[in-house]
Amino acid sequence: MTKSNFRILIKSILRYVRQLTKNPVIAVLTVILLIAAYIGLLYFALVYGLRHSSTSIFKSHGVGRKVGMNQRILTVVSATVDLSREAELLAGFRSLLMAPVPDGLLRTELLRSAPGAWRIHTLWTDRDALDKMRAATEAPAAPRLFRSVGADPSLEIFEVMVEHAPDA
């Protein structure tokens, strides 16, 4: 941001704040407070990004890497499972955990939100890893598991835009 753009931004904010309050002193103090808050957020982002470089908020916004490259992907496979088959689902998922996992799989978890409502979240290193797994001759494990217990799964694919993993 150039100096002239910054001045225009400050003048615009000051004009807006003046419209909200007729007291120019309060308007100026409000602008100063907004600027201080913005600087504080930038400082926090800088310190946090440097201290936690592996999960840096800068990296999650594409700073320091090419946008779209190596972006983590989360798949969510959902299904409603008959209550009488939930134990079979749990056993099947535990069995999957004992088998070798596809390259690029970082984490997977079986979740239940209400009786019968199940999801399998799987985190992938990037879209390429997911595509390679889906191109394999064997059907993907999560939908196959749900089908094995008589459920009709649905798939959603998400790009992980911001990620935070506190130090263990």
* pLDDT tens figures, 13-54: 767 766 766 777 777 777 777 777 777 666 665 555 544 444
Task: Quote the pLDDT of residue 130.
Answer: 94
Q: Which two tokens stand for residue 128?
A: 């390429």
Instruction: Quote the CA–CA distance of 96 and 118 in Å, as a whole number.
Output: 16
Percentage of the chain with pLDDT > 70? 73
Say if residue 86's pLDDT is above 90: yes
Instruction: Quote the CA–CA distance of 44 and 164 in Å, as a whole number.
Output: 14
Taking each helix axis from N to C terminus, what angle separates 86-98 and 141-148, rounded to the nearest 10 degrees?
150
Backbone angles phi, psi at 143, to 5 degrees: -65, -35
* Contact between residue 64 and residue 55 where contact means Cβ atoms under 8 Å apart: no
**Cα angle value 96/99/101 (rounded, 5°):** 90
- Global pTM value: 0.59
Show the domains of the chain with their CATH numbers: 3-60 (no CATH), 73-159 (3.30.70.100)
Closest CA to 35 of 55, 17, 60, 58: 17
Q: What is the number of alpha carbons within 13 Å of residue 96 lying toward its C-beta? A: 22
Q: What is the number of alpha carbons within 13 Å of residue 113 lying toward its C-beta? A: 8
Task: Quote the pLDDT of residue 56.
Answer: 40
Q: Which two tokens stand for residue 111?
A: 């979740």
Q: How confident is the model at residue 3 (pLDDT cuts 50, 70, 90)?
A: low
